[in-house]
Amino acid sequence: KDSQEEPSNDKPLFGSTGRKIIYDKDGKPCRSCNTLLDFKMAGGSLIGGLSTKKPTQARDSIPEAYKEDPPDVEQLGKSTWTFLHSVAATYPESPSPSQQDEMRQFMRIFGKVYPCWFCAEDFQKWSSKNEPKVNTQEEFGRWLCDAHNEVNAKLGKPKFDCNLWKRRWKDGWEE
Q: CA 37: distance to chain centroid?
A: 17
Handedness of CA 127, 128, 129, 133 (dihedral sign): positive
- Residue 36 as a binder of ligand FAD (CB under 6 A): the answer is no
Q: How many CA atoms, within 13 angstroms, populate the side-chain half-sphere of residue 20?
A: 7
- Pick from 4, 45, 80, 136: which binds ligand FAD (CB under 6 A)? 80
**Cα 10 off chain centre by:** 28
Stretch that binds ligand FAD, among 2-10, 39-47, 48-56, 148-156 (CB under 6 A): 148-156
Contact between 168 and ligand FAD by CB under 6 A: the answer reads yes
Q: Residue 136 and residue 60: Cα distance in Å, rounded?
A: 51
Residue 37 binding ligand FAD, by CB under 6 A: no
- Interface residue with ligand FAD among 78, 86, 101, 105 (CB under 6 A) is 78
25: exposed, middle or buried (C-beta count within 10 Å: 0-12, 13-18, 19+)? exposed
Task: Give the C-alpha separation, 41 to 39, whole Å.
Answer: 5
User: Binding ligand FAD by CB under 6 A: which of 91, 123, 140, 143?
Assistant: 123
Q: Does 23 bind ligand FAD (CB under 6 A)?
A: no
Whole-angstrom Cα distance, residue 35 to residue 63?
26
Which of the ranges 3-11, 45-53, 94-102, 151-159 carries the binding residues for ligand FAD, by CB under 6 A?
151-159
Subset of residues 84 to 103 that bind ligand FAD, contact rule: CB under 6 A: 85
Measuring CA to CA, which residue among 116, 135, 103, 12 is closest to residue 70? 116
40 to 69: interface string for ligand FAD, x by CB under 6 A: ------------------------------
In which element (H, E) is residue 48 found? none
Asked if 39 interacts with ligand FAD (CB under 6 A), we say: no
Which residue ranges make up the site for ligand FAD (CB under 6 A)? 73-74, 77-78, 80-81, 85, 114, 119, 122-123, 145, 148-149, 151-152, 154-155, 160, 165, 168
